[in-house]
Amino acid sequence: MCHEAVKQDGDMFEYVPEKFKTTEFCLEAVKENSKAFKYVPEKLKTAEFCLEVVKGSGSALEFVPEKLKTAEMCLEAVKGSGKALEFVPEKLKTAEMCLEAVKEQGRHEFYTVLMVLCRNRHLRLITCPRTSGRRKSALKR
């Protein structure tokens, strides 16, 4: 019954009794609604669990404890949702992550993504020659 309620409305996960919150159920719930991560029991929040969560929902990176965030996890999150770059710790941000965020978010978010990444970094934007009528850009250190 709990599974059906959560499938209908991910916000219902908050009201599921702890005894029913298995790893599999929590993973399903968070992939459905990243905000459900707040209601996952602490004992289930492992690095492996969090990596699986962000692979299914990049925006869930916002709720992953800082101590569990890894470069691999953050890159997976950004590939799924360019906006996840905002929740990547500064020490883990890379040019590759920024480019993935730009690819995922598209041109409209381009400068916002650059501002987030470059805040405390020594990266510069290089504009490459046009290819197929579109301008390509890259970041260099």
- What is the predicted pLDDT for the residue at 14? 87
Q: How far is CA 5 from the centre of its chain?
A: 25
Q: Span 86-94, mean pLDDT?
A: 90
Confidence of residue 134 (pLDDT cuts 50, 70, 90): very low
Burial tier of 34 (Cβ tally within 10 Å: 0-12, 13-18, 19+): buried
Q: Span 124-135, mean pLDDT?
A: 41
Regarding predicted confidence, which is higher, 125 or 57? 57
Q: How much of the chain, in percent, has pLDDT values that exceed 70?
A: 70
Q: How does pLDDT run across 9-54, given as a tens digit for each residue?
A: 767 888 899 999 999 999 888 888 888 888 999 999 999 999 999 9
- What is the predicted pLDDT for the residue at 6? 72
Q: What b-and-e string marks burial along 59-89, b requiring 16 or more CB atoms within 10 Å of the CB? A: bbbbbbeeeebeeebbbbbbbbbbbbbbbbe
Q: Span 128-140, mean pLDDT?
A: 42
Tokens representing 19 are 């005894």
- What is the predicted pLDDT for the residue at 42? 92
- What is the predicted pLDDT for the residue at 130? 36
Confidence of residue 106 (pLDDT cuts 50, 70, 90): low
Would you say 37 and 51 are in contact if contact means Cβ atoms under 8 Å apart? Answer: no
**Average pLDDT taken over every residue of the chain:** 77
